[in-house]
């Protein structure tokens, strides 16, 4: 039984790490409106493929807009990233969940 509990804890930790990366990505876009993929990649030190994956999922989820550059590009960028108004609310909800987890985790240890 103890082995199963350990596996569950590791899975939770891995899920939190993954979600924290997504949070950092979304927070960067919210704080840096009209940034390009290259800027996000450099600031967060994520692989290019990871950033593009997050961009596509966020765009499909309608929390990030891909604004065409129309020839006035930053270093050859085809589009800029811009958060929608609901992004701030989403990040606040994310923070509440993280803080609640930390309260419970610190309380139990």
**How far is Cα 71 from Cα 69, in angstroms, rounded to an integer?**
6
Q: What was the pLDDT predicted at 72?
A: 62
Q: What was the pLDDT predicted at 4?
A: 64
How many structural domains comprise the chain?
A: 1
The three-state secondary structure class of 71 is coil
Q: What is the CATH number of the domain that holds 81?
A: 1.10.10.10
Q: What was the pLDDT predicted at 66?
A: 92
Domain span at residue 15 reads 2-108
Consecutive 10-residue averages of pLDDT for the chain (109 residues): 64 82 94 91 95 95 89 72 92 88 66
Q: What was the pLDDT predicted at 70?
A: 76
Q: What was the pLDDT predicted at 68?
A: 87
Residue in 69, 71, 41, 35 with CA at minimum distance from that of residue 54: 41
Token pair for residue 47? 């692989």
The three-state secondary structure class of 76 is coil
């Amino acid at each position: 039984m103890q082995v199963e509990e350990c596996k569950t804890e590791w899975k939770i930790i891995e899920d939190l790490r993954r979600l924290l990366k997504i949070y950092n990505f979304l927070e960067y876009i919210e704080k840096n409106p009209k940034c390009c993929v290259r800027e996000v990649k450099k600031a967060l030190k994520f692989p290019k493929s990871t950033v593009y994956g997050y961009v596509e999922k966020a765009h499909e989820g309608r929390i990030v807009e891909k604004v065409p550059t129309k020839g006035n590009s930053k270093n050859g960028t085809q589009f800029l990233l811009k958060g929608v108004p609901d992004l701030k609310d989403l990040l606040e909800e994310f923070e509440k969940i993280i803080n609640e987890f930390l309260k419970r985790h610190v309380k139990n240890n």
